[in-house]
A and B are shown apart, each in its own frame.
Chain A
Amino acid sequence: MANIVKLMQGNEACTMGALAAGLQFFGGYPITPSTEIAEMCSEELPKVGGKFIQMEDEIGSIAACIGASLTGKKAMTATSGPGFSLMQENIGYACLCEIPVVIINVQRMGPSTGMPTSPAQGDVMQARWGTHGDHSIIVLTPGNVKECFELTFKAFVLSEKYRIPVIVLADEVICHMREKVVLPDPKTYKIPMRAMPESPAGYKPYAADPDGGVPLMAPFGKGYRWHCTGLFHDETGAPSGKPAVANALLRRLDRKIEKNKAEFEDYFAENLDDCDVAVVSFGSSAMAALSAVRRARKEGLKAGMLRLKTMWPFPDETLRRLTSSAKTIIVPEMNLGQVALEVERVIHGKAKVVKLGKVNGELFHPDEVYAALKEAF
């Protein structure tokens, strides 16, 4: 076998990435613009002995996925704005109960029904804070079709390793766009495996290093007979209302991700070392941004590009490094400045932050970003 070369749609690449990572269960509900993922899973999973189910709504979809994950299966769902909103409570359940699950959110214009077939990037903060209560989460954001494959694969690796829901925050253009993609030989994929306890004797489902440790997860039906609850729980899984237990659990869950931040950090960078003006973007906005940056460079302007591939935890260090050179940072995004807000927080006045928000359901044109660049110089 050799590399796979294919003209592929983003949604198809997400599905291929999931299958490459050993996807065994998909529960979903039809919603534009993510539906192709469900369609393809319904076709492909039976071939490999996996399970597809079309649930009655998105609440049920993620619930079924979490249930499947409890039995040791790799599970995924895919949705868009309204469905993503419905999933939030159970995403919080998976965070607190530490159940691996991958959620693909193909962003569309919102709020509400919005514009179902138009691209947007307005779910940046919802992906981070959509469920109630303090919680950690990992959010990856692909910038082209190949990355739909790579980041969905990576989502499974991280989800299984850290026992946490991982969200792939794509957008309508990235997922409906078709590109020629070269994927590695399927034989080279290393399917992520969940760390398992050795035996049921003395098994404590939530025993872990208080400083961000990940407890070992036993699959259901193997004699461990453990209790999983969305109530705060001690290391035996028993519900607890004790302040010390609650505090220790929430802080361990936070540290679990904070401590390993460097491992998640992923981005694309071009000409950042000497740039006077940096453009920070992600997803389909970054395609227009990169084109504008290259044009500016060609004309002798010192412009640089940073495209985020990990959205959350936010890559603070990478952003901070920008200020050693850049005096202005332009943030094109299809929302009213959600990432720009984070950039401002990190930059803390050390550079000028220009919010370039677009919320009309249209993609950025490279000229729009180029104009902002020209103005900044």
Chain B
Amino acid sequence: MAELLDYFRKERLPHIWCPGCGHGTITGALVRAIDKLGLDKNNIVLVSGIGCSSRAVGYLDFDTVHTTHGRALAFATGIKHARPNLKVIVMTGDGDCTAIGGNHFIHAARRNIDITTIIMNNSIYGMTSGQYSPTTPHGMLGTTAPYGNVEYEFDVCKLAEAAGASYVARASSYHVTLLTELLEKALMNKGFSVVEALAQCPTYLGRKNKIGGAVEVLNWIKDRTVNVKAAAALPPEKLEGKLLIGELFTHDRPEYTASYAEMTAKVQRTYNDYKGGNRGCELNSD
């Protein structure tokens, strides 16, 4: 195993995250997964949007793009489509991916384009200081939910599965070993992979909801998760309000860039046989 810091732009550290934030743990898990798989540093592109989690890419020593809010997957789609040999990884947050970027998320899943997406879900808008997000549980407090969140949260993994992702998994900054294993599998999957990584936000979610500091919010995450294997043996009432962790869904289906390459090859065969030139322009030349 290489020195983990070798994957970081050391001169850009320390990071901007608050003490006790879960994003560093998740970033560490990704780097470990990349290292374990022995992927070529020069062949990886990391893409992010806007928010606390999206700052991760700036610290990592790959080709990295910190794009606009919600658009990481659309940029990543362009990168992957243009150069399918690149390993494209998207680091995004719950607001970035499922609110403002929700449309790109479901369409990237529908295409099953070979992109690994890590959703660093801390159930809050941290960068703007604590507004409720599409993954804030009902009833919890945020700076825009002072009387408790009246909305209900997305199950991001079910959303990804329904939209067509071929690998869907969930873990958290508490379950780091599991998270690293799932990320490895996601990176190996040829298709759209989603790994939701629950993260603690002690500064805003923890404080606003009086859960406590980093440890208490981590425990809160631990208490709301059940391993998918253990869940199989539990009665439904024990699973009420729980989030399943582990590998949740896999599906072997055609990948977008591969299908496009297949189509291109077919078109080129026909086109070369025809030799009609660019829409027959030569036929009209003077």
Contact = CB atoms under 8 A, between A and B. Distances in A.
Nearest to B257: A51
A71 interface: yes
A56 B104 contact: yes
B76 interface: yes
A60 interface: yes
B103 A60 contact: yes
B77 to A, nearest CB: 5
Contacts of A239: 58, 66
B66 A227 contact: yes
B226 interface: no
B79 A63 contact: no
A229 interface: yes
A51 B81 contact: yes
Given A93-B67, A221-B45, A238-B12, A47 B103 contact: no
Given A25-B81, A27-B78, A53-B81, A225 B42 contact: yes
B79 A68 contact: yes
B78 A228 contact: no
A220 interface: yes
A2 interface: yes
A223 B42 contact: yes
A46 B71 contact: no
Interface string A216-232: 00001111111111110
Contacts of B68: 63, 89-90, 93, 230
Contact of B285 (A3, A60, A68): A3
A175 B123 CA distance: 48
A227 B62 CA distance: 8
B285 A2 contact: yes
A64 B108 CA distance: 12
A71 B83 contact: yes
B284 A5 contact: yes
Contacts of B260: 46, 51
A341 B226 CA distance: 65
Given A59-B71, A221-B85, A239-B58, A1 B282 contact: yes
Nearest to A92: B68
A157 interface: no
Interface string A1-24: 111111000000000100100001
Given A5-B286, A63-B67, A220-B45, A47 B271 contact: yes
B209 interface: no
B78 A6 contact: no
Contacts of B228: none
B61 interface: yes
B268 interface: yes
Among A57, A225, A231, the most chain B Cβ lie within 10 Å of the Cβ of: A225
B66 A67 contact: no
A228 B64 contact: yes
B2 interface: no
Given A56-B103, A59-B71, A60-B104, A220 B63 contact: yes
Interface string A191-230: 0000000000000000000000000000011111111111
Interface residues of A, number: 53
A67 B77 contact: yes
A67 B82 contact: yes
Contacts of B271: 47
A322 to B, nearest CB: 38
Contacts of A73: 82-83
A44 interface: yes
Interface in A49-70: 49, 51, 53, 55-57, 59-61, 63-70
B107 A228 contact: no
A168 B228 CA distance: 53
Nearest to B105: A56
Given A220-B79, A225-B61, A19 B74 contact: no
A296 B86 CA distance: 62
A222 B83 CA distance: 12
Nearest to B260: A51
Among A3, A182, A230, the most chain B Cβ lie within 10 Å of the Cβ of: A230
Given A55-B77, A182-B286, 13 more contacts: A4-B282, A25-B81, A49-B268, A59-B74, A60-B74, A63-B71, A64-B78, A67-B78, A68-B82, A186-B278, A220-B79, A224-B63, A227-B58
Interface of A: 1-6, 16, 19, 24-25, 27, 44, 46-47, 49, 51, 53, 55-57, 59-61, 63-71, 73, 75, 89-90, 93, 182, 186, 220-231, 238-239
Interface of B: 9, 11-12, 41-43, 45, 47, 57-58, 61-68, 71, 74-79, 81-83, 85-86, 103-104, 107, 260, 263-264, 267-268, 271, 278-279, 281-282, 284-286
7 contacts: A25-B81, A53-B81, A64-B77, A67-B76, A67-B78, A220-B86, A221-B42
